[in-house]
Amino acid sequence: MTEFLTTEEIKACYDKLIHQPGYLRTLKKSASFELKAEQILSYAREVHNESIIRIERENGIFHPVTPYSFPPCPLSSDLFILPAGIKLDSFTYMDQLKYWFVTSQTVINLLENSFENPEMTIPELALLMFYKGEMVKKDRGKLYSEQTKIKKRLSRVGAEGSKLKNKNKIRRFNKVIEKLSGEQKRQAEKDLAELKINIGDHPPSL
């Protein structure tokens, strides 16, 4: 049975993707993952586009808005009722818009990567994002730790302590290179060639 999420369920999933680094893994194990992800992604894009419009339009000028009704707000709405007469100054408002802009982009990246690379492991995805120049933020947990490690050249091209680890490392490079093009691909191929040389010069002891 096709599963459609309610608006509240979409918002709840969206918030969990922002605040719970491991939630994407849980979501991917659920039934109808791709359908759910598309609905959340649509919401995240709406939030992202709305925050851009408002940042450009307001440019720091005071405009009442309530975080309880946004994101997202109807594009045609110019007036928002604030609870208990609360008002936001221009700086607080802009900070809130920037927060929505950044967090919505995080969710978009998470879900788009899950579609593009459903079969990739965390080390493979970290390596792919490294060569694409996509830096991982600290809130991405293990993915962030993995990319921090591979930023060090020795970690990328150095020989490992066993034949199996070296074999896996070469296989990881080959898988990532298939998804690259241009200068990014050439750089990855260059690193792979250096890795193979280093493995030959320093074979693991039996």
| pLDDT for residue 136 | 74
Helix intervals (H) in 118-181:
122-132, 142-150, 153-157, 163-177
Angle at 100 between CA 25 and CA 141, to 5 degrees: 30
Name every residue whose Cβ is closer than 8 Å to that of residue 187 and which is 6 or more positions away in sequence. 131
For residue 52, the model assigns a pLDDT of 81
pLDDT at 171: 92
- Phi then psi for 204, rounded to 5 degrees? -65, 140
pLDDT of residue 100: 85
Q: What is the pLDDT of residue 58?
A: 66
End-to-end CA gap in the chain: 54
Q: What is the pLDDT of residue 174?
A: 93
**pTM for the full predicted model:** 0.49
Residue among 9, 108, 110, 91 nearest 49 (CA): 108
DSSP symbols for 29-80:
TSTTHHHHHHHHHHHHHHHHHHHHHHHHHHTT------TTT-SS--TT----
The pLDDT tens digits along the chain (206 residues) read: 445 788 888 889 999 999 887 898 888 888 778 778 888 888 888 888 888 877 777 664 444 444 434 444 433 333 333 445 555 566 776 777 788 888 898 898 888 877 766 667 778 888 988 998 887 777 666 778 888 899 999 999 999 888 888 999 999 999 999 988 999 999 999 999 999 999 886 555 54
